[in-house]
Amino acid sequence: MEHIVIIGNGISGVTAARHIRKLSDKKITIVSAETDYFFSRTALMYVYMGHMKFEHTQPYENWFWKKNRIELLKGFVTAVDHEKKTLILAEGKELAYDKLIIATGSKPNKFGWPGQDLKGVQGLYSKQDLDKIEANAPNKEACNRAVIVGGGLIGIELAEMLRSRKIPVTFLVRENSFWNGVLPSGESEMINEHILEHHIDLKLETNLVEIIADENGRAKAITTDKGETIECNVVGLTAGVTPNIDFLKDSGIELGRGVKVNRFLETNIKDIYAIGDCAEQHEAIGNRRPIEAVWYTGRMMGEALAQTICGKPRQYSPGHWFNSAKFLDIEYQTYGWVFSERSKQEHESHFHWRHASEKICITASYHKDSKKFLGINTFGIRMRHEIFDRWLTEERDIDHVMQYLKDANFDPEFYSHYEEEIISKYNSVMQTNLSVQKKSWKRIFSKA
């Protein structure tokens, strides 16, 4: 019986294992040093905030693995010997494989800051990081202030976590507005305001210079490139992530920033594959990045690879881009491509609408000549994935999207609707005379 070994029990590895089991009778082993069982990394913040217990982050009950004959091995892989098809584990143990899937995810970036390895300095990625933050910042008495370095999604989540325990937070962001390398300016500004509403000390265009230790080797303050010294007990490093592949350095597997793979998720070495955050496409797919550190792409790679391994070769071919996040209280969804002013191409134009008082806004992007709809960002309004996916496939123009926006609304029942306001602004900006079309179940469920 062929033995499939998967390194990493995150969403990619576990999805691959589940689908291989669905399709075949192969022997499956998942190796992880992080936790005994699969958990949802995205939910770690809710454990610290007291919304959930750690066990709630585990999507499958503990009996699930045995029942599905997926062996779980707790151990740390130190090297891969592809000639002998063997993994070397810490403490010298070995594990033979027939096919190997590398799904080791990411690790937080550290850019060589002085003091970056002091006690009280940490990222927020793993279960161990959760345990650390619980120890480092149990309450506002033990942690008088935390400084977070890096204005991305994990940074703002860490800020939200600490604020849930009333710990004062200083948030250093390199850019002149939060996440404006990704978000268009209107949205980025709205999030700046929201961050301040949550009493987070947001410092834009500010970089970390040094983390200063106390006599016990614990962080006690940081200095910034603005010459400021900020006393703190905890420093959160959240300046992005990088593939977690140090153990593969001398393995002969081709590495870039991540493990280089083709569209079938195969590495340069036969019977070794890589999926999820740690995989790097030789060539980016569409507008996507070569390394996609996103929950659902990990899942999709796992699904695709399981097919390949079970004899039905299937490329990883993600459909239209989508994603979501939550900035404190504001939900964010995106479908298709909406680029920030910094990175958008010349032909991309934006229509932006923002509610007069609430933190609600949308930005729709379109081709400035053809008016072809390219994508939408929504803040504080939920949208129906299926509808936008269809509109993107059908290459609708932005007028169509604006008229039928009610079909795409996914907010709970009885919520206020803003389509009228949106379209009236659209009409005045675009010199059109469109009107909102009523929601139609028939359209929503028609399989075009």
Residues in touch with another protein (CB under 8 A): 11, 40, 42-43, 46-47, 49-53, 56-59, 61, 164, 197-198, 295-296, 299-300, 303-304, 312, 314, 317-320, 322, 324-326, 328-329, 331, 333, 382-386, 389, 410-416, 441-442, 444-445
**Complex with another protein: residue 110 or 314, whichever CB lies closer:** 314
Enter the tokens of residue 8: 């990493």
320 to 317, 390, 408: CA distances (angstroms):
10, 9, 16
Q: How far is CA 436 from the centre of its chain?
A: 34
**Complex with another protein: residue 129 or 303, whichever CB lies closer:** 303
223-235: buried (b, 16+ CB within 10 Å) or exposed (e) per residue?
A: bbeeeeebebbbb
**Complex with another protein: residue 317 or 345, whichever CB lies closer:** 317
Residues 361/352, Cβ–Cβ less than 8 Å: yes
Taking the complex as a whole, the smallest distance from the CB of residue 14 to another protein amounts, in Å, to: 10
Taking the complex as a whole, the smallest distance from the CB of residue 39 to another protein amounts, in Å, to: 9
CA atoms of 170 and 264, how far apart (whole Å): 43
Taking the complex as a whole, the smallest distance from the CB of residue 70 to another protein amounts, in Å, to: 17
Angle between helices 185-197 and 153-164 (to 10 degrees): 20
Residues 172/206, Cβ–Cβ less than 8 Å: yes
Taking the complex as a whole, the smallest distance from the CB of residue 222 to another protein amounts, in Å, to: 27
**Complex with another protein: residue 46 or 97, whichever CB lies closer:** 46
**Complex with another protein: residue 13 or 115, whichever CB lies closer:** 13
CA atoms of 388 and 390, how far apart (whole Å): 5
Taking the complex as a whole, the smallest distance from the CB of residue 163 to another protein amounts, in Å, to: 9
Taking the complex as a whole, the smallest distance from the CB of residue 176 to another protein amounts, in Å, to: 25
Taking the complex as a whole, the smallest distance from the CB of residue 200 to another protein amounts, in Å, to: 12
**Complex with another protein: residue 157 or 280, whichever CB lies closer:** 157
* DSSP-assigned states of every residue in 87-149: EEEGGG-EEE-SEEEE---EEE-----TTTTSBTEE-S-SHHHHHHHHHH-SSTTT-S-EEEE
**Complex with another protein: residue 245 or 383, whichever CB lies closer:** 383
Of the candidates 434, 432, 376, the one whose C-alpha atom is nearest the C-alpha of residue 408 is 376
Taking the complex as a whole, the smallest distance from the CB of residue 123 to another protein amounts, in Å, to: 19
Taking the complex as a whole, the smallest distance from the CB of residue 322 to another protein amounts, in Å, to: 7
**Complex with another protein: residue 47 or 87, whichever CB lies closer:** 47
CA atoms of 277 and 293, how far apart (whole Å): 4
Residues 231/224, Cβ–Cβ less than 8 Å: no
417-444: buried (b, 16+ CB within 10 Å) or exposed (e) per residue?
A: ebbebbbebbeeebeeeeebbeeeeeee
**Complex with another protein: residue 326 or 371, whichever CB lies closer:** 326
